[in-house]
Amino acid sequence: MQLKNYMEDLVFEQLDRVINSHQGVCKCEKCKYDIAALALNYLPPRYVVSDRGETYTRIKSLEQQFLVDIMSSITLAITIVNGRPKHNAE
Ligand SMILES: [Zn+2]
């Protein structure tokens, strides 16, 4: 058994779409993960129990409810990460 933050899946599902709808956003892996992490920090975690190898039931009503929040959190995260990209820091 594993605990899984369902919100992570929802953010990653929307991530590319939201990034592609903005111009001039860096699409390197580091920036994408920074954007995802920031967005997830703005969103409430939603934990589900996941059986290993078995996909958990998707909670459709939850997705509808959070979609707008997810989109705006990703948009905000893009603005912040794009303003101060960390991909050249190391
Ligand atoms: Zn980058």
* Contact (CB, 8 A) for 29 and 78: no
The mean pLDDT of 34-42, rounded to a whole number, is 97
Look at residue 79 and tell me whether its pLDDT is greater than 90. Answer: yes
Residue 55 CA to ligand 1 center (angstroms) comes to: 32
Distance CA 43, CA 35 (A): 13
Q: What is the pLDDT of residue 76?
A: 97
Distance between Cα 71 and ligand 1 center (Å): 20
Residue 71 inside a domain? The answer is yes
88 Cα–ligand 1 center, Å: 8
Residue 34 included in any domain: yes
Checking if the pLDDT of 90 tops 60, the result is no
Q: How far is the centre of ligand 1, averaged over its atoms, from the C-alpha of 16 (Å)?
A: 14
Q: Residue 86 forms beta bridges with which residues?
A: none
- Which among 23, 89, 69 is positioned nearest to 34, based on CA atoms? 89
Q: 3-class SS at 8?
A: helix
What is the residue range of 8's domain?
2-83
Could you tell me the pLDDT band of residue 49, with boundaries at 50, 70 and 90?
confident
- 22 pLDDT above the threshold of 90: yes
Domain assignment present for residue 21? The answer is yes
Mean pLDDT of the chain: 88
Give CA–CA dist 7/77, Å, rounded: 15
